[in-house]
A and B are shown apart, each in its own frame.
Chain A
Amino acid sequence: GAGVSQSPSNKVTEKGKDVELRCDPISGHTALYWYRQSLGQGLEFLIYFQGNSAPDKSGLPSDRFSAERTGGSVSTLTIQRTQQEDSAVYLCASSLAITAGGPPDTQYFGPGTRLTVL
């Protein structure tokens, strides 16, 4: 079946502009995750959704970052007033569910969106 898809694959924007990044999870996956990966580094957790709700927003770097998920499916990560330090690859992942007290489900990653802020 189809994997996690992200769009656009590349985005170049000017400092101060707003950008929206989209993630389509695997069908039937209720959990969705956003990460940021700077060049040569590991993944930095941003936010996760269980259904349409985001229990933990602590990873969002600033109030310029926001994310939403509607219909338990597609998610959008919005960055307002972009800065050069926002340049990175933004990765989305999905998993079947998040079960408190149970074993973690496998996260399946999309190919990422490479954001460049000039």
Chain B
Amino acid sequence: EDQVTQSPEALRLQEGESSSLNCSYTVSGLRGLFWYRQDPGKGPEFLFTLYSAGEEKEKERLKATLTKKESFLHITAPKPEDSATYLCAVQATTNAGKSTFGDGTTLTVKP
């Protein structure tokens, strides 16, 4: 059974204080690993898809990396508007339509 574990559950940072969110996963064969951002009362918003170990993707202050067992979402010099819940999900090659999500990390950035 595919599993995704995210840590920490909650993270509080001062504006400008860089940090990383972790997503550990087990999957029979990785089709893709996804990062989403979710604001309160809204649906998740797509950030990145990673396909293979060693891959990295960047968008503004966010950088996602992938190994065979985990992914990191690095946040550089965060701003208060980066406050949100960040969700990680995986899809297995054996079931292309099903995504397994972690419980998320809630990030709060204080000015």
Contacts and interface: CB of A to CB of B under 8 A. Distances in A.
Interface of A: 4, 31, 33, 35, 40-45, 48, 50, 55-56, 58-59, 91, 93, 98-101, 103-104, 106-112
Contacts, number: 69
A75 to B, nearest CB: 13
| Residue in B6, B45, B51, B99 with the greatest tally of chain A CB atoms within 10 Å | B99
Contact of B89 (A40, A43, A101, A111): A43
A44 B102 CA distance: 9
Interface of B: 4, 6, 31-32, 34, 36, 41-46, 49, 51, 87, 89, 91, 93, 95-104
Contact of B99 (A40, A45, A58, A108): A45
Contact of A100 (B41, B96, B102): B96
